[in-house]
Every structure is written in structure tokens, then in C-alpha cells.
Chains A and B, each alone.
Chain A
Amino acid sequence: MRIAHDWFVPVRINREKQKDRFKEYTITWTPTIVILDAEGKEHFRFTGFLPPLEFSAAIILNGAKTELDLGNYDLAIKCCDEVIEKYRGTPSVPEAMFYVSVAKYLSTHDGKNLRAGYDRLTKEFPGAEWTLKAAPYRLIGK
């Protein structure tokens, strides 16, 4: 959980003590992790237990997606790359490959980044959900 401390302010909400917060955020099952920006706006959430490595990858990926939302493309790219390189084998990797290509496209407006993301996903994760989601980018020229 070192990552959480470096990049996030970590908050724990106990269901027994703060039922009102559970209602406010419509939390129906635990554990649920919610990522907020510095204005308190929710960006992403995920529910259920994960082993430590998979949990860290999911936290970094969802942090990266939040940075993407906030227009911090370079940081989003760096964090997606970290998931791809250091957390290989975890379920977050295909989604990180999808979003790194999106972040590169938004940063450069060069469609080749989306195509490269599709090519990489097709090669490494044929048939995966995020490969299917990237399929329209096959129409972009190399």
C-alpha cells in the first residue's frame, strides 16, 4: 500500500460507524474502493477482494485513468506503463494498454497511437475485452 500513500490520501470508511456515507456513495457491497479527485469528485470505483499485486495494479490503473480525466496525460501514460511493465500477468494489463494508447492519442492527436494500442492488444491479448474495445482503431492507418 506504499503507492496509496505516495499518490493518494487514503481514507477508510467503516460501515458500522458511517452508514450515512455508504448511503451517500451508494455502496452496496464491500470492499469498494472509490477514487476521488482533489475536488471530491468521484472518477472510478471497483468492488471485491484482490491479492496484493493485483490490488496495487488496479489502484495504479484507476489512478492513471483519473489523471487522464484530469488532462494529466503524461502522468497517465507513465502510470499505465508501470502497470504494463511491473504488473505483467495481472488482469489490469490489457486495460492499461488500452488507456495508454488513449492517453498518447489525447496528448498528440495522432491516431497512430490508437492503432499501435490495438496492434499490441491483438498480439498480446487476442480476444480479450479491451482488445475488442480497441477493434475500431484497426481502421486507422499505420
Chain B
Amino acid sequence: MISWEESIDRGVTKAKEQKKLVLVDFFNPQ
């Protein structure tokens, strides 16, 4: 199960800590 972050800033912080890239999915729920 993928755990999605809901904040780009938090994603970037985690990416820095874990030496990863950030994949941002901009979506429209409608």
C-alpha cells in the first residue's frame, strides 16, 4: 500500500532525508 503525502514541502523533506526523488500527482477528484 502506497502512503501518499499531501504536502509537497513534507515530500521534499522526506526525499532529502531518504535520498529519493519526489513524484507529485496533481489530480482533480471530480
A contacts, CB < 8 Å to B: 1, 4-5, 7-18, 21-22, 25, 27, 30-40, 59, 63, 66-67
CA distance A35 to B30 in the complex (A): 23
B contacts, CB < 8 Å to A: 2-12, 14-16, 18-30
Residues on A with C-beta less than 8 A from B2 are 1, 4-5, 10
With beta carbons under 8 angstroms apart, the residue of A27, A35, A39, A40 that contacts B26 is: A27
- Given the interface pairs A7-B21, A11-B7, A13-B6, the reply to whether A22 lies near B26 with Cβ below 8 Å is yes
Q: What is the interface of chain B mostly: helix, strand, loop, or mixed? A: mixed
CA distance A66 to B20 in the complex (A): 11
Residues on B with C-beta less than 8 A from A4 are 2, 23
Question: In whole Å, how far is B28's beta carbon from the nearest beta carbon of chain A?
Answer: 4
Q: What is the interface of chain A mostly: helix, strand, loop, or mixed? A: mixed
Question: In whole Å, how far is A70's beta carbon from the nearest beta carbon of chain B?
Answer: 9
B23 close to A9 (CB less than 8 A): yes
Closest partner residue, chain B, to A1 (CB atom): B2
Closest partner residue, chain A, to B9 (CB atom): A40
B28 close to A63 (CB less than 8 A): no
Most-contacted residue by chain B among A11, A16, A21 (CB, 10 A): A11
Residues on A with C-beta less than 8 A from B18 are 9
CA distance A66 to B23 in the complex (A): 11
B21 close to A63 (CB less than 8 A): yes
A13 close to B14 (CB less than 8 A): no
